[in-house]
Amino acid sequence: MAEVILMPRLSDTMTEGVIAAWHKKVGDPVKKGDLLAEIETDKATMELESYKDGILLHVGADKGGKLQVNDLLAIIGQAGEDISAHVNGGGAAAAAPQAAPAAEAAPAAQPAAQQPATAALDLSKMEEVVLMPRLSDTMTEGVIAAWHKKVGDDVKKGDLLAEIETDKATMELESYKNGKVLFLGADKGQKIAVNDLLCVIGEEGKVDVQAIVAASKGEATAAPAASAPAASQAAAPAATATQQAATAPAASLNGDGRIKASPLAKKIAADKGIDLAQVPGTGDGGRITRNDIENFKPQAAPAAAPQAAAEAPKAAPVPVVAGEEGYQDINLSQMRKVIAKRLGESKFSAPHFYLTMEINMDKAMEARPAMNEVSAAKISFNDMVVKAAAMALRKHPAVNSSWMGDYIRQYNHVHVGVAVAIEDGLIVPVVRFADQKPLSAIAAETKELAGKAKAKKLQPNEFSGNTFTISNLGMMDIEEFTAIINPPDSAILAVGRIKEVVVRKGDGFGVTNVMKVTLSADHRSVDGAVGAAFLQTLKRFLENPVTMLV
């Protein structure tokens, strides 16, 4: 069956996208994960990967053409498949004529056949329908971190509607229009696939919500009478759950009886298995904050200590360990899932090779204090590595590349990703045009991006588009390590700590400061000699930092 791909919403302010380039043409075979197109948004040009295997049957616009968010972008299916219903905006309209013969053959089903065929609704064209946007370049589904509006609430254009947890960050989703919230597609904590129904906003009484929901599920609106008992049975457990929730201890409740807590506090509490009702809030109006969760200590269960147990040491001087085996299953976050998927694909599909080099950092250590005397932002050794690597990439463009399957793409720009460890895993903010920026600008930008990453406030254009990546564990006393290449890069540089070593100097011995770096490279696009030459250039820049300022 043909798969319709709609124009994704690749930034928080995007309303339309421009086709910067198609990497497949109509008739080409496409595999899941293949680069399909480059989309220019209001903030950046981002790559769009295919969601499935098949043949590219249709494109919604040529190179340079504009498409609104949720307009038809492409159709992927099997060769010779009829896609006229999708191209004409009919969706599954082709299935409607088939219902008539079935109704004639089965008179008992005639009342249901007379109902409107909601499956023919094209939700992407309906102004009242809000679909799950694709908020990162690798996102396939989103988790509802928090709703800021509930059914029945009035919404204005620009109002904060929800917080969506993607594979890389938790992002805020604003309303596109004015109206009333008529339907929510999922509760907090539930997942919705990209382009599935997120919510319905419109004028009450003028929108057929039931038809929209049924169309999103590929069902008809006519509900058989037999479903009524099932619905009533389902309502009973729900009512019981509501009564149980009402009996829970009320802490930090707002006017409608819900616990007041920040989205991050709720997420941490869920991960740690902490009942929010037991946590006292110290925020405004008793709101529970992240610190409240992290500082919360559950009341210890009363210890049963019989007198006989107290006398046990006297009778048996050998201590008896009453251990209990156990384990804890930790649910995967969206970020952790994507890290596992992408790095697994990188490690087992790209033939890695590794080159390690030792760099003398004496002059870098001498130059850094002098640089910081005139720099507005404090320059770190990692900032110096970023600058040196960017300038070395300019001299060795073969390392600044991506393996594209049947060709190698060498980039004319140098965008250096800097790996940042956060609570849920790892994210790579990108310093764009790093080779052209002074050290003070790189220092200020990396500090700002790292802060945004840890607060989960990065925008898609701030963590995408890297052409090379640096991972530094030197601040954690790691001397050397190897890193897995961060797709779509062809190489990643692992940086260890600076340590003092005794070396021969003249007729005697002295202490010098050295740092080990290891380049992991994809042998499909980078040869060993090319990687070694890159490291030699990097070494020259770091061992004589003044050359980076010329």
User: How many residues are recorded in the chain?
Assistant: 550
Is 58 one of the catalytic residues?
no
**DSSP H or E run through 235:** helix 227-247
Q: Could you tell me if 21 and 39 are in contact, meaning their C-beta atoms sit under 8 angstroms apart?
A: no
Q: Radius of gyration (Cα) for the chain, nearest Å?
A: 29
- What is 24-92 written as a DSSP string? S-TT-EE-TT-EEEEEE-SS-EEEEE-SS-EEEEEESS-TT-EEETTSEEEEEE-TT---HHHHTT-TT
Q: What CA–CA distance (Å, rounded) separates 2 from 55? A: 9
Label residue 477 left, alpha or beta by phi (over 0 means left) and psi (-120 to 50 means alpha).
left
- Which residue reads 């929800």 in tokens? 162
Q: Could you tell me if 92 and 85 are in contact, meaning their C-beta atoms sit under 8 angstroms apart?
A: yes
Q: Which amino acid is at 497?
A: R
Which of 71, 159, 208, 527 is catalytic? The answer is 527
Which of 148, 352, 413, 523 is catalytic? The answer is 523
* Closest CA relative to residue 129, chosen from 113, 138, 118: 118
Is 148 one of the catalytic residues?
no
Q: Could you tell me if 67 and 41 are in contact, meaning their C-beta atoms sit under 8 angstroms apart?
A: no
The token pair at 55 is 């043949």
* Closest CA relative to residue 26, chosen from 54, 45, 49: 54
Q: Could you tell me if 53 and 90 are in contact, meaning their C-beta atoms sit under 8 angstroms apart?
A: no
Q: What CA–CA distance (Å, rounded) separates 505 from 362? A: 14
Cα–Cα distances in Å, from 307 out to 29, 301, 302? 77, 18, 15
Q: Could you tell me if 411 and 401 are in contact, meaning their C-beta atoms sit under 8 angstroms apart?
A: yes
The distance of Cα 108 from the centroid of its chain, to the nearest Å, equals 49
Whether the link from the prior residue into 488 is cis, omega within 30° of 0, is yes
* CB atoms inside a 10 Å sphere around CB 365: 14
- Helix-then-strand count for the chain, H and E: 13, 26
Question: SS3 of 434, please?
Answer: helix
**DSSP H or E run through 370:** helix 362-374
Binning the chain into helix, strand and coil, the percentages to the nearest 5 are 30, 25, 40
Q: Could you tell me if 54 and 78 are in contact, meaning their C-beta atoms sit under 8 angstroms apart?
A: yes
DSSP 207: S
- Which residue reads 């340590």 in tokens? 499
Q: Could you tell me if 491 and 521 are in contact, meaning their C-beta atoms sit under 8 angstroms apart?
A: yes
* Closest CA relative to residue 462, chosen from 447, 452, 475: 452
Query: Catalytic site residues?
Result: 523, 527
